[in-house]
Amino acid sequence: MKGDFELLERDGLARICRLETGHGVVETPALLPVINPNRKLLGATEMRRLFGTQMVITNSYIISRTEGLRERAVREGVHGILGYDGPVMTDSGTFQTHVYSDVSVDPAGIVAFQKSIGSDVATVFDVFSEPDFTREKAAEAVATTSARAAKAASAGGGGSLIAATVQGGIYPDLREQAAREISSTGADYFSIGGVVPLMEGHRFGELADVIVASKKGLAPGRPVHLFGAGHPQMLPLAVLLGCDIFDSASYVKYAYDGRMMFPEGSFNLAEIRHSWCTCPVCTSATADELRGMEADERVLNLAKHNLYTLSSEIARIRQAIHDGSLWNLVESRARGDPQLFDAFARVLSHRRYLERFEPLSRKSGIGFVDSLTASRPDASRFAERAGAVRPGSGDKVAIITGERQYFTHFDSTSRAPDEDAASLTPLGIFPLALTETYPLSQSSYSASVRAAEKPGEYAARFGYSAVRTVEGKWRRNGRQQARESSADQARAVCEYQFGPGAARALLAGRMEYARSRNTGKLRGISSEGRQILFFRTEDGLFSLKFHGGEILHGALPPPAMRVVCLPDAVPFVSSGRSLFTRFVAEADDGILPGNECIVVDGNDTLLAVGRALLRREEMLSFGKGVAVDIREGRNSSLSSQQPEGMK
Ligand code: GUN
Ligand code: ZN
């Protein structure tokens, strides 16, 4: 249905989503090339063929002010004048008010015009809030913009989705307030505006602050467009912060200036001696040949090159979301550019907000370069949570040290009976039992990453009476790890993953621990003869079996770990089918995306266990898509006895 927006894959706030428009589906992250209706260099249909462009954006203000064009648009629609049958977004003239001062637009009229020409996404005429606006002026821009958005949204879009813009200059509280206001209007699509001057001035740190403040206030279940962002070097960062859609006029502006875009920034064609680009333009013409072309032909070729760069960067970003490596990409880009590096540091200052969306594990390990990498929200949250888990109930502690200590062999027979074991890793000192858990053994580390805490401090923090450091031995043949007892490993991982109360409840009965015959790694855990947990070797975390869910359900009072399902979905979820967002009534705010949860009905009757794909506010905001991937429902019992059923 038009306007549906569904999350398909995610990596923290970054997401791959599917937006339905009146002219087809757009998969985000997406970049919308700007088409000037008066000066068409490349047509939208050709862009779709060459670059896989899914949606374009054009300007309804220019169309409405151009004699002849306006009449044609009314007759043939915006798709007719662009010769394109795919999704088209229109902007409202706000940007023209930023560039030229004498622009007058009738706010209601321009939205009505966009609807009348069949725009798929019609933009409210917002007030451009410049970065140098005083607070008062920025607040005024927000108030006017929100009022216009409310009017446009309540009138409804007809065939058009209504796009409302977050303004507020560089004032985070105004941005967040503006975002809350437009979220409550019922607009279908959100934009972040007033940021072009930040982009053009390479003020990426302030840009990051503006995006984070806006995201905090925006309802998560709608697309977010960053207006005027067509600079390839900031795309990974903007996607990391949760922007879905971008538009670029710069591909053509740069082409007129003789500039070529690359993922790291732009280069002047005049200075290129050794062209390294392998796009179709650059493999069919040398830099000299490009320079020798007639102006029109050169501009067209440079514009194409720029669109190849932008579309391949978007593809690169999608792949990074898919394999869980977007942070790595953003960090490596940041280390090549001082302004982007500042922005990366600003992003890390928002880690408390970001970590709410960070999964407990990813498909990709982390490449730890230095302490900056270690302050990524996923890494710092691991350090905080794992650092709070006591290795055991012993009175003394042995801390294993040495190069690559987290893979080294530690002979546990040398331990005293009342001695717990911890491991000094580059990220900190943690229970030895957590060394198989993400990200410790899945990642790689440079020698510049060093734990801050000293063994003595660690021992004091947990009240150990004695601490001894043991030099771990690195075994060349294979990654033979120091191994903690099954019970200690189960307790440490449970505490880390579910919290201490859950760990006590899960592991209270008569326990059995199964290990793999091949690898010796922990596999299934049973209590009183029934499987409760399954250990995933890829990330060292547990999957919950139904009986494990029953134990947690009995031990932890609501709302802990619960997603509450609406009556209509009860039979489906109970038989093991996915829980969709539209059937979620409520959810625990502590559930992290990717972590285990239990699903109950309105009377807190346990229906199923599964893996949450979204966090609470996302489950409640998205109108479409899966909220919980159900592993086992109360009625899917027979097949559930088999370990193959585990995910
Ligand atoms: N294009 C670039 N910036 C903006 C903005 O703030 N608002 C609108 N409507 N369009 C833009
Ligand atoms: Zn090229």
| Separation between Cα atoms, residue 450 and residue 374, nearest integer Å | 9
Q: Say what the pLDDT of residue 641 is.
A: 46
Q: Say what the pLDDT of residue 520 is.
A: 83
Which residue out of 36, 103, 191 has the highest number of ligand 1 atoms within 8 Å of its CB and is therefore the one to mutate?
A: 191
Which DSSP helix (H) or strand (E) runs through 34?
A: strand 30-35
Grouping H, G, I as helix, E, B as strand and the rest as coil, residue 355 is: coil
| Separation between Cα atoms, residue 526 and residue 513, nearest integer Å | 7
Q: Say what the pLDDT of residue 517 is.
A: 86
Per the domain annotation, does 424 fall within a domain?
yes
pLDDT confidence bin for 101, thresholds 50/70/90:
confident
User: Residue 528: how many CB atoms within 10 A of its CB?
Assistant: 12
Q: Say what the pLDDT of residue 11 is.
A: 96
| Separation between Cα atoms, residue 643 and residue 543, nearest integer Å | 11
- Cβ distance 434 to 440 under 8 Å? yes
pLDDT confidence bin for 521, thresholds 50/70/90:
confident
Among 477, 498, 533, where does a domain finish?
Answer: 477
- Cβ distance 239 to 321 under 8 Å? yes
- Ligand 1 lined by 189 (C-beta under 6 Å): no
Q: Say what the pLDDT of residue 319 is.
A: 98
Answer yes or no: do 335 and 414 share one domain. no
Q: Does pLDDT of 646 surpass 90?
A: no
Q: Say what the pLDDT of residue 645 is.
A: 39
- Cβ distance 521 to 436 under 8 Å? yes
Strands, DSSP E only, in 98-188? 121-123, 161-166
> What mean pLDDT value characterizes the chain?
93
| Separation between Cα atoms, residue 458 and residue 442, nearest integer Å | 24
- Ligand 1 lined by 227 (C-beta under 6 Å): yes
Q: Say what the pLDDT of residue 412 is.
A: 58
**What number does the ligand 1 atom closest to the CA of 123 have?**
9
pLDDT confidence bin for 116, thresholds 50/70/90:
very high
Which DSSP helix (H) or strand (E) runs through 323?
A: helix 295-323
Answer yes or no: do 19 and 64 share one domain. yes
Ligand 2 centroid–CA 265 distance in Å is 13
Q: Which ligand is nearest to the CA of 166?
A: 1
For residue range 419-469, what is the model confidence (pLDDT) as tens digits?
999 999 999 999 989 988 999 988 999 988 988 899 999 999 999 999 999
- Ligand 1 lined by 91 (C-beta under 6 Å): yes
Question: What are the tokens at 455?
Answer: 């063994």
- Cβ distance 203 to 131 under 8 Å? yes
Per the domain annotation, does 429 fall within a domain?
yes
Q: Which residue has the tokens 């830099």?
A: 287
| Separation between Cα atoms, residue 433 and residue 631, nearest integer Å | 26
Identify residues whose C-beta is under 5 A from ligand 2, the ion.
277, 279, 281-282, 305
For residue range 276-318, what is the model confidence (pLDDT) as tens digits?
999 999 999 999 999 999 999 999 999 999 999 999 999 999 9
Q: Say what the pLDDT of residue 642 is.
A: 46
pLDDT confidence bin for 102, thresholds 50/70/90:
confident
Task: Report which residue type is found at 480.
Answer: Q
- Cβ distance 627 to 580 under 8 Å? yes
Transcribe 390-434 into DSSP letters.
-S-S-SEEEEEESTTGGGSB--GGGS-TTEEEEEEETTEEEEGGG
- Ligand 1 lined by 94 (C-beta under 6 Å): yes
| Number of domains forming the structure of the chain | 3
| Separation between Cα atoms, residue 563 and residue 631, nearest integer Å | 14
Among 347, 370, 397, where does a domain finish?
Answer: 347
| Separation between Cα atoms, residue 191 and residue 182, nearest integer Å | 10
pLDDT confidence bin for 259, thresholds 50/70/90:
very high
What is the arithmetic mean of pLDDT over 569-591?
A: 98
Q: Write the DSSP symbol of residue 582.
A: G
**What number does the ligand 1 atom closest to the CA of 194 have?**
6
Q: Which ligand is nearest to the CA of 285?
A: 2
- Ligand 1 lined by 228 (C-beta under 6 Å): yes
Among 477, 509, 536, where does a domain finish?
Answer: 477
Ligand 2 centroid–CA 238 distance in Å is 23
- Cβ distance 263 to 232 under 8 Å? yes
Q: Say what the pLDDT of residue 435 is.
A: 87
Ligand 1 centroid–CA 125 distance in Å is 9
Answer yes or no: do 139 and 61 share one domain. yes
For the chain, how long is the longest CA-to-CA vector? 90
User: Residue 282: how many CB atoms within 10 A of its CB?
Assistant: 20
For residue range 340-387, what is the model confidence (pLDDT) as tens digits?
999 999 999 999 999 999 999 999 999 999 999 999 999 999 999 999
Per the domain annotation, does 77 fall within a domain?
yes
Q: Does pLDDT of 404 surpass 90?
A: no
Answer yes or no: do 102 and 191 share one domain. yes
Q: Is 568 exposed, middle or buried (0-12, 13-18, 19+ CB in 10 A)?
A: exposed
Per the domain annotation, does 540 fall within a domain?
no
**DSSP-assigned beta bridge partners for residue 541:** 536
pLDDT confidence bin for 475, thresholds 50/70/90:
low
Question: What are the tokens at 291?
Answer: 């320079």
- Ligand 1 lined by 193 (C-beta under 6 Å): yes
Q: Say what the pLDDT of residue 118 is.
A: 98
Which domain CATH number covers 341? 3.20.20.105
Ligand 2 centroid–CA 4 distance in Å is 36
Is the previous residue joined to 559 through a cis bond, with omega within 30 degrees of 0? yes
pLDDT confidence bin for 148, thresholds 50/70/90:
very high
- Ligand 1 lined by 251 (C-beta under 6 Å): no
Grouping H, G, I as helix, E, B as strand and the rest as coil, residue 603 is: coil
Question: What are the tokens at 103?
Answer: 């622009």
What is the arithmetic mean of pLDDT over 241-253?
A: 96
Answer yes or no: do 128 and 230 share one domain. yes
Question: What are the tokens at 413?
Answer: 């027979």
Answer yes or no: do 76 and 26 share one domain. yes
Per the domain annotation, does 514 fall within a domain?
no
What is the percent of the chain with per-residue pLDDT over 70, rounded to a whole number?
A: 95
Nearest to 127 by CA among 30, 20, 227, 253: 227
What is the arithmetic mean of pLDDT over 468-473?
A: 81
Per the domain annotation, does 29 fall within a domain?
yes
- Ligand 1 lined by 157 (C-beta under 6 Å): no
Answer yes or no: do 122 and 204 share one domain. yes
Which residue lies with its CA nearest to atom 11 of ligand 1?
95
What is the percent of the chain with per-residue pLDDT over 90, rounded to a whole number?
A: 86
Q: Write the DSSP symbol of residue 5.
A: E
Considering the candidates 11, 91, 126, 420, report the single residue annotated as catalytic: 91
pLDDT confidence bin for 643, thresholds 50/70/90:
very low
Active site residue 91: yes
What is the arithmetic mean of pLDDT over 489-512?
A: 96
Q: Does pLDDT of 45 surpass 80?
A: yes
Ligand 1 centroid–CA 299 distance in Å is 25
- Ligand 1 lined by 123 (C-beta under 6 Å): yes
Cα-flanking dihedrals φ and ψ of residue 314, to 5°?
-60, -40
How far apart, in Å, are the Cα atoms of 646 and each of 279, 523, 558, 600, 610? 44, 11, 26, 20, 10
Q: Domain range for residue 227?
A: 5-347
Which residue lies with its CA nearest to atom 9 of ligand 1?
94
